[in-house]
Amino acid sequence: MRAEGSNAATPRRPPPMQPLGGLRYGLMLLLVLLALGALTGRIVYLHVIDRTFLQGQGDARTLRVDPIPAHRGMITDRNGEPLAISTPVVTLWANPQELPPDDIQRLMLARALEVDLDEFNSRVSRYAEREFMFLRRQMTPEAAQRILDLGLPGVYAQNEYKRYYPSGEVTAQLLGVTNVDDQGQEGLELAYQPYLSGTPGQRRVLKDRKGRLVRDLHMLREARPGGDLVLSIDQRLQYMAYRELKAAVAEHGADGGSLVMMDALTGEVLAMANQPSYNPNNRAGLDPRGLRNQAIVDVFEPGSVMKPLAMAAILESGQFDRDIVVDTSPGWMRIDRFTIRDIRNYGELDLAGILEKSSNIGMSKLVLALDDPLVADKYRALGFGQSTETGFPGEATGSLPAPVRWSRSQWAALSYGYGLSVSALQLASAYTALANGGVRQSPSLLKLDEPPVGTPAIDPQVAHDLLRILEESVQGRRAGVTGYRVAGKTGTVRKSSSSGYMENAYRSVFAGIAPVSDPRIVTVVMIDHPRGEEYYGGAVAAPVFSRVTGNALRLLDVPPDQRLSP
């Protein structure tokens, strides 16, 4: 019996385990075991079965394929003298994430690079999230090594090539330039880029995690250097022509000028000079006008230098007797709404006199008497209005309007060199037909292995007769060359603008051939807008022809053909 008033409690039992908690525990344990099993299986698979995967991943972080730059081909003159060469240089680059953070080492690097520390730090900050930035490109190996010898982390070197032009401004517009990546940008460097550039090579190397070379493993592909380009230019003649042209432009305060000298027999361009020019080795303060190879890419109305070529069409027509006399009085004539003038009244002139006096009236009357557009056809046969096919970038074709419903004044203007546009190179090529027995030679900027056939453009006898007439027209004048017989024609052309012909703005032109007994060279000189009292072609361009041609004939060892007075 319980004592009365007793309140002793019965002991409590723990609550039974819930079935859901045990199931959760087992499920989690199973998942962990499965994950461990999958991980173990993957490790076994990669290390035993598919070992190449991990090996490839490891190699990707240590093996590299480094490019090997190809040596750009050399450009030489016809005698093997270098005009453009590639020299080895070093480009320094950095990994901004590896550069030292302290100011002392940064200051050492900035001073070695010759830059301000603040500017350098600012640039590093801009590239902080990247792994590459240029420090300085195309340094000499000696200068780059002095920086590498500082032993600063994150600074690396890359071997490259830089183009150098020994002749500087003398051949600048002809050769053109390359950019910082050694790719052609102008001139022949651009025209022959695939040939000159070559094919870069590749090599497999072993590098550490910082990109430093550990071992050179093997060559994948050897670099193939670019081909060498041999030009038709004779460097001796080029220097001399450039010097004379530059002096003439300065003497007459002209805007510029061009000179082309061609081999009369082959069409090879022996010299091609332009003003203004620039130094391709130092392009600071470059005048954009100096980039243009005016002799090829610029055109102008040629003026009276076209008269011998128009006269060729007149003589070949058979419509005039060789002894015909033309009355040019009173020194002017009205055609349509225009007035054509000579410098003065020359009266009656035969064909030779018309060329010698450069009579616009005489040429106009002869051309207007022709039945067919023979002058325009002759100009086309001589290459005007067409590409010279030199392959030079931006080469001009000029303009020769089609003779459709032309007015009489347009026909007349064509005979004395107005109403069409030509380049200096086209003009020189046309004059090879007078020098070469009627056969025109297309211009070539490359040295030719064999003389080309050429294109018959003028009757041989007509070409012979015109050459003798042009010889007589320059005798005793400023185009003469001591010891040599020369032939040529002057031209003085008004410059045109969008509003018409300009007042007191001219181009002075001379086209000549030498020596007459056995023509070797054809030279065209154009001086753009000479300022001063003298602006006629005979006073400005002809003396340049005389000096350049005389020196060229002597440099080429051409024997004199002029009988000198005892």
Instruction: Round the CA-based radius of gyration of the chain to a whole number and report it.
Output: 39
Q: What CATH number is given for 66-115+134-230 in this structure?
A: 3.90.1310.10
Predicted confidence at residue 337, as pLDDT, reads 86
C-alpha pair distances (Å), 389 with each of 2, 219, 268, 381, 443: 133, 41, 13, 15, 8
Catalytic residue among 167, 197, 304, 409: 304
CA atoms within 13 A on the CB side of 332: 6
Please list the rounded mean pLDDT of every run of 10 residues in the chain (566 residues).
48 54 76 83 70 58 70 93 92 89 87 89 89 89 90 87 92 92 92 89 68 65 86 97 97 96 97 95 79 94 96 92 91 90 93 94 92 88 94 94 79 91 97 96 96 94 95 87 94 86 91 96 97 90 96 95 60
Which of 220, 413, 207, 377 shows the shortest CA–CA distance to 303? 413
CATH code of 235-555, in short, is 3.40.710.10
Phi, psi of 483 (to 5 degrees): 90, -10
Domain boundaries defined on the chain: 66-115+134-230, 235-555
Known catalytic residue at 317: no
- Rounded to whole angstroms, how far apart are CA atoms 304 and 306? 5
C-alpha distance from residue 123 to each of 115, 117, 151 (Å)? 11, 10, 21
CA 112 vs CA 105, 109, 119, 149, 158: distances in Å: 11, 5, 14, 11, 17
State residue 216's pLDDT score.
65
What is the pLDDT, as a whole number, of residue 250?
96
Query: Which pLDDT score, from 0 to 100, does residue 1 have?
Result: 42
Residue 32: what pLDDT? Answer: 84
Question: Residue ranges of the alpha helices (H) in 224-269?
Answer: 235-251
* pLDDT score, position 4: 47
pLDDT the model gives residue 37: 81
Query: What is the structure's pLDDT at 214?
Result: 61
Give me 21's structure tokens: 């908690």
Let me know: does 548 contact 240? Beta carbons within 8 Å.
Answer: yes
Residue 269, SS3 per DSSP: strand
Q: Is the peptide bond before 15 cis (omega within 30 degrees of 0)?
A: no
